[in-house]
Structure 1
C-alpha cells in the first residue's frame, strides 16, 4: 500500500523551526523546516504553511525557503488553519506551547509535534493530555536526543546488559546567559526548564522516573529565574543521579557521564567516549579503565536526530508502527521531576 505524504504546518518560525539551518557547523538538517525541505522530507511530508505572530520572522522564513507564510494574531483562538492539516509542528516560545496545542487539538488536527518543554508546568501538560485523549490526538515532544542513533545505541546496550549494571549518572548542562533572549525568563523558563529538560528527559529514558533526594537553586534576586540548579536523584534499584544545570558559564556543554560496574560511557555534544575495565598498568593487582571504540557504534554520517523523530511520525501516522517515544505521559513525569527541584529550593 502506498503511503501518503503528511500535510504539515509550522507554527512559530524562529530558531529551531528554521534559522538554525544557517549555522555552518551544525549537522543538517537541524530544524523542522530543514527536515521538510530535505530530500527525505519531501518524499514523506507536504509543507502547507508557516505561521508566526512576527511579520519579520515571516519575511525571513519566506526569503530563506521561498515558502508560503501567514501572519497570525497572538491569540491562537483567532487563527484558522488550512483544510486537511495532518500534522502541526509547534515551535513557538515555550510559554505559548500549551495554548497552541489546545487550539490545534480543538481544531481537529490529529497529530502534533511540540517543542520542549511541552508546557511550562505539569498541570499545563496534563490539560493537553486530557484534551488529546478526548480527541484521540497523537502528540510527540521534541526531546530529539531520544532519536539520535548514538544515544539509542547506549540505551540499547545498557538495556541488554552489555555495558554492565548501571551504578550512577552525572548529568551536566552548562550554558551562557549573556544573550538569553526569552530562554531565561518567565516566558521561557530558567536553564533547568529550558535546557536542563533535555538531560532530565534522557535520565527518564534510561532509568525511568527516579526519586528526588535533595536539591538546591541559586537565584540571584527575589522573583528572578534561577541561575543554577543542582539535584540528587535515586532510582528504586539504587542508581544515584547527579544533575547540575547552570546558565552562568562562558561556554556550552551538554554531557551525561554514566558509570556501570564494568564500564564508563560519556555521552556529550562533544562526542561519545567508551571505557572498559582492564588490568591496570599503573597499580599491580588493580583494574583501570581503558578506552575503546565499539564496533557497532553508529557512524557520524548516519546520525541525525531530527530525521529520526519525523521518521517515527511518518510510520505511526501511516499505520506502520505503534510505539511512540517521548509521549505526553513521559513529559508529564519529566515536568514533575523538574518541579520537584523547584519545590525543594534552598
Structure 2
C-alpha cells in the first residue's frame, strides 16, 4: 500500500525559501520550494501552503509556482496554521526563527526544518530544545553542506585515515557588505553568525567541539555588527583550526583548506581540489604536494545537498531511518562556539 505524502508548509518565501530558484547559474533544486515542487519532491511531500509577511513575495510566489500563499502577521503567535501538518519549513529571517519554531511546536507540528542559525543565541536555541523535547518534536537545521556528497566523501576519507593524520584546517567565508540586507544588521547577526555559521558547523561536524584559543573582531563603529571575525580553535588532539569571516570583500568565497601530514584538501564553493605528497621534481631530497583526483570522489552532477537533507527527513518521518544529522544539540554547541568568539573580543 502506497503511503500518503508528508503534508508540508513553507514559512518564509524569500531567497532560500523560493526566490533563488530563478538564478539560472545555480544547480537545481537550490531552495526549499524547489525541492518540494521537484519531481522527486512531489512523490514524497504534499505542499499545503506558503506564508510570508510580505505581500509582494506572496504574489510572486503564487505566480511562479502556481501554489497557494498567504500574507500573514509578522508575529507568529497571531498566525493560525492549518491542521494535520507533518512538516514545517522555517526560512524566515534569522531573528524570527525562534518564535516561529516555538509557535509550530505549540501548534503540534511534529517535524521542523529550520534555516541556519536555529536562533540568534544559544539561550534561544535551548528554549526551542526544551519545548521540542516536551512535545517529541524532531528538528533539522539547514546546514546543508553536511548532506553534500563531496563533503561527506572528504569526512569519510579523513575518518578512515585515507588522507593521513589531520593537522590543521583554515576556514574562510568572505562576502560583500555593499548590499547588506539583514545579513549585516543586528537582526541578521553579522557575517559570523549569518554566513560563518556554515564554516563553524563543518568544523564541529569534522572534529567535534574544539576549544577557543583566541579571537579578534573588527567593527566599523562602537556597538555595530562586526565587519570581520578571526578565531583560532584547537582540539584535544592538537588540531588547529583558523576561521576568518569577513564582509568586506569584492567577491564571495566559502572554503575549507585542510592539511594532514601527507595531503591537502581544498573544499570550496568553487570546487574541490586534492593534493598528495610525492617525491619532489623541484628539490632533491624533498617531497612536494601534487594534484590528484581520488577515484571514488562523487561526480559533480550527482551532488545536491538540498536533496540530501530532504531525503533524510523523509526517511526518518517514514521510519526508514533512525539517525539524524546535525541535531539541535549540535547546533547549540555551534552557537556556543560562535558566542565564544563574540565574548573573547
Which TM-score applies when normalising by structure 1?
Answer: 0.99
**Unpaired stretches in structure 2, ≥5 consecutive residues:** none
Partner of 1:114: 114
Partner of 1:130: 130
Q: CA–CA distance in 2 between the matches of 1:231 and 1:141?
A: 23
Q: Secondary structure at the match of 1:48?
A: strand
Q: Secondary structure at the match of 1:183?
A: helix
Deviations 1:63-115 (A, max 9, x none): 11010011111111111111110000000000000000000001000000000
* Deviation, structure 1 residue 4: 3.0
List structure 1 segments (4+ residues) > 2 angstroms apart after TM superposition: 1-4
Q: CA–CA distance in 2 between the matches of 1:221 and 1:189?
A: 16
* Deviation, structure 1 residue 131: 0.3
Partner of 1:51: 51
Q: CA–CA distance in 2 between the matches of 1:160 and 1:317?
A: 30
Q: CA–CA distance in 2 between the matches of 1:229 and 1:61?
A: 36
Contact 1:125–1:332 (Cα < 8 Å) also in 2: yes
Q: CA–CA distance in 2 between the matches of 1:36 and 1:138?
A: 19
| Alignment of structure 1 residues 1-150 onto 2, 5 Å | 2-150=2-150
Contact 1:5–1:46 (Cα < 8 Å) also in 2: yes
Q: CA–CA distance in 1 between the matches of 2:139 and 2:227?
A: 31
| Alignment of structure 1 residues 109-258 onto 2, 5 Å | 109-258=109-258
Q: CA–CA distance in 2 between the matches of 1:253 and 1:170?
A: 13
Q: CA–CA distance in 1 between the matches of 2:209 and 2:29?
A: 31
Q: Secondary structure at the match of 2:8?
A: strand
Q: Secondary structure at the match of 2:295?
A: coil
Q: Secondary structure at the match of 2:322?
A: coil
Q: CA–CA distance in 1 between the matches of 2:175 and 2:97?
A: 23
Q: CA–CA distance in 1 between the matches of 2:256 and 2:4?
A: 39
Q: CA–CA distance in 1 between the matches of 2:229 and 2:88?
A: 33
CA-atom RMSD, angstroms? 0.7
Partner of 1:308: 308
Q: CA–CA distance in 2 between the matches of 1:139 and 1:174?
A: 29
* Deviation, structure 1 residue 241: 0.3
Q: CA–CA distance in 1 between the matches of 2:235 and 2:5?
A: 42
Which TM-score applies when normalising by structure 2?
Answer: 0.99
Q: Secondary structure at the match of 2:28?
A: coil
| Alignment of structure 1 residues 311-330 onto 2, 5 Å | 311-330=311-330
Partner of 2:285: 285
| Alignment of structure 1 residues 250-269 onto 2, 5 Å | 250-269=250-269
Contact 1:12–1:92 (Cα < 8 Å) also in 2: yes
Deviations 1:160-183 (A, max 9, x none): 111111100000000000001111
Q: CA–CA distance in 2 between the matches of 1:3 and 1:95?
A: 36
Q: CA–CA distance in 1 between the matches of 2:208 and 2:194?
A: 21
Q: CA–CA distance in 1 between the matches of 2:182 and 2:343?
A: 23
Deviations 1:29-78 (A, max 9, x none): 00000001111000011100000111111001011101001111111111
Q: CA–CA distance in 1 between the matches of 2:133 and 2:87?
A: 16
Q: CA–CA distance in 2 between the matches of 1:312 and 1:149?
A: 13
Deviations 1:257-305 (A, max 9, x none): 0001111000000000000011000111111101001111111110000
Aligned length: 345
Q: CA–CA distance in 2 between the matches of 1:42 and 1:118?
A: 26
* Deviation, structure 1 residue 2: 3.6
